[in-house]
Structure 1
Amino acid sequence: MTKIVTVVGATGQQGKGVVSAFINNPAYHVRAITRNPSSEAAQALSAQGAEVVSANLDDLASLKTAFAGSHIIFAVTNFLEPFAAHQSPDKAMDIEAAQGINLARAAAATLPTLDHYVWSTLPNAKAVSAGKHLVPHFEGKNRIDAYIREHEPDLLRKTTFLWVGWYHSNYRTPCLTPYWIPTAQKYIQLGSFAPEVPIFCIGDVSRNIGPFVKAVVEQPEKTANGGIVLATSEIHTADEMLQLWARVKGTKAQFVQISGKDYRDMWPVVAEEIGVMMEYWDEYRDRSWTEADGRKILTKEDLGVQGLQGMEEAFKELEL
């Protein structure tokens, strides 16, 4: 039987990567969910053979219609869209949580056909740090995690929580971008965190998320029933990653640590969001990608994920 793989946000970075993992496999039929089926990106998916369906994350009824008959659903929300629109992390968290709960409710309505619900989320920094660090673009997703665990037990049995690591394209975020300093003849990257902070990387997410999702749905005995999968390809410290980027670009770079106040004053709003994440990673290091209750986190080694593109290759293709 051909299985319907429904991909939310199919024209986005994560969604495109998931579509690519299933689109040429005759065992699967890809249903691409987008708000605008007439967009160039949506039409490109249609040309590849995907069924393009319109739905809006704010409209539960449209999601239920779009999900009907699905065997596998990949779900993702976009914190950055409401964050940019409202310039408010609190508002963005509320919107993201409401959208993610709509996704979960719509998925729960497909339980007669559903085999697997893959939900793209992030660790619970607030729980791991005992309330010290609340990372807004983590917290909105964590509220959705809690909803699934507390209110959708039947869906939970078919759910994998996929923790997606650091994108190589995050260097395009102004408070993370290396800037050329002519008098120093090098690039400088400013941060309110130590250069030794470990960063768990997915690299080019549109290349690397697909193999993880495919491994997840093909090994439900390991990944379903609320399993957590860490979708990362490699780990670098902040300075190691900067030096890797510099070598790839044939230039020199230096990381400069500044105070949290100066970092936030330099880039209001966005540096507050990024700064709290980096400071959480800095304080908790390897523990920052764990669960507060100590449950096992599955890695690429546990699932036999192979063929991932490395950060070096990803940086070669990145234009700032």
Structure 2
Amino acid sequence: MDNSAECGGIGTQGPSLINAALEDAAYQVRALARNPSGEKVENLRARGVEVVQADVNDEQSLANTFEMKDYRGSSAIFGVTGFFEPFANHGPEKAVEIEAAQGISIAKAAARVTKDKWKVPHFVAKNQVDDYIRQDKARLAKTTFFWITFYGNNFSKTLGNYVQLSPAAPPTPIKTIGSPLANIGIFALAIFKQPQKTPLGKFVVASVVHWAAVTEDFSSVWPGWGMNMGSMIKRWDEIKERSWPGEDGLLTKDDLGLSAEKFVDFKGTLAEMDWNALL
């Protein structure tokens, strides 16, 4: 059963979600309350809801609750901010400031939930560069983020004792560029020739086809490399198409006007490889 968390289990919006989630029975519900006691809280507990202390004005308390080590971390979070309580106490201007801070705290705490779940070292530095560029509008205006997917020729000579395995279920959507040598340049040239399609830091995903992974742990087969690549594939397995979200959607080969006939796909890449050098 997936775990969910919601901010504000005592008001109106939170209890509405709790009622729907309990009726559906797809989630184990965790409600957050500044004061985890009282009649309303006890009624929630009697219905099987876990109630924990947290405050939307305290980012760390939210993060601690979303990540709770005693349980599976939150898989879905329903955040509720409050305007009218600070409005009544402090007036409109301060209420706007407080409510905005609450929403930002929820967002920051939620972003920390998966901080230690997927460690993909070869993504970290790239994301740091992306963040640096996005901090400046002038830099961002001159940038297209070009995401190149799994190389179709990611094979090397082995001892002939192992089978290539991946730590993910068969439906995992693994995007592949097919032949990197043939296809990366086609994508990049299309971006150069159509700058109007990629203004202000648009994202382009260089993918030609999908292929399926096979379930198995291969970190012991490929020490170091297995852990690195395995964490990436497990991430793809868990969040599926959201693995490549972009900031406001992704541009694909279709958006760039590129037809499939231009590319060497995954099967074509395998056919072109010198297998005698690998076997």
TM score, norm. by length of structure 2: 0.53
Q: Kindly, what percent of the aligned residue pairs are identical?
A: 37
| 1:281 counterpart = 2:236 | yes
CA distance in 2, matches of 1:237, 1:153: 39
| 1:282-320 superposed Cα distances (whole Å, 9 cap, x missing partner) | 1111111113x5x11111111101311222211111233
CA distance in 2, matches of 1:258, 1:300: 31
CA distance in 1, matches of 2:123, 2:168: 18
Of 141, 161, 164, 1:157 maps to 141
Give the structure 2 partner of residue 134 of structure 1.
Answer: 119
Count of aligned pairs between the two proteins: 163
Cα gap change, 1:127/1:237 in structure 2, threshold over 3 Å: closer, same or farther? farther
Cα gap change, 1:146/1:173 in structure 2, threshold over 3 Å: closer, same or farther? farther
The two structures, once aligned, show a CA RMSD in angstroms of: 2.5
Cα gap change, 1:226/1:129 in structure 2, threshold over 3 Å: closer, same or farther? farther
Cα gap change, 1:281/1:197 in structure 2, threshold over 3 Å: closer, same or farther? same
Give the structure 2 partner of residue 200 of structure 1.
Answer: 175
| 1:14-61 superposed Cα distances (whole Å, 9 cap, x missing partner) | xxxxxxxxxxxxxxxxxxxxxxxxxxxxxxxxxxxxxxxxxxxxxxxx
Of 304, 315, 320, 2:257 maps to 304
Give the structure 1 partner of residue 270 of structure 2.
Answer: 315
Conserved in 2, the CA contact under 8 Å of 1:128 and 1:288?
A: no
CA distance in 2, matches of 1:221, 1:208: 21
| 1:208-227 superposed Cα distances (whole Å, 9 cap, x missing partner) | 01111111112111113101
Amino acid at match of 2:134: R
CA distance in 2, matches of 1:173, 1:289: 30
Amino acid at match of 1:297: L
Amino acid at match of 2:203: I
Structure with bigger strand share is: 1
| 1:172 counterpart = 2:159 | no
Cα gap change, 1:144/1:237 in structure 2, threshold over 3 Å: closer, same or farther? same
Amino acid at match of 1:141: K
Q: Which has the larger radius of gyration?
A: 2
CA distance in 1, matches of 2:157, 2:226: 9
**Distance apart, 1:267 and its partner CA:** 2.4
| 1:238-284 superposed Cα distances (whole Å, 9 cap, x missing partner) | 2xxxxxxxxxxxxxxxx5x334xxx3233221111011001101111
**Distance apart, 1:180 and its partner CA:** 5.2
Q: Which runs of 5+ in 2 are unaligned?
A: 1-109
| 1:264 counterpart = 2:219 | yes
Give the structure 2 partner of residue 3 of structure 1.
Answer: none
TM score, norm. by length of structure 1: 0.47
Question: SS of the residue aligned with 1:139?
Answer: helix
CA distance in 2, matches of 1:311, 1:192: 20
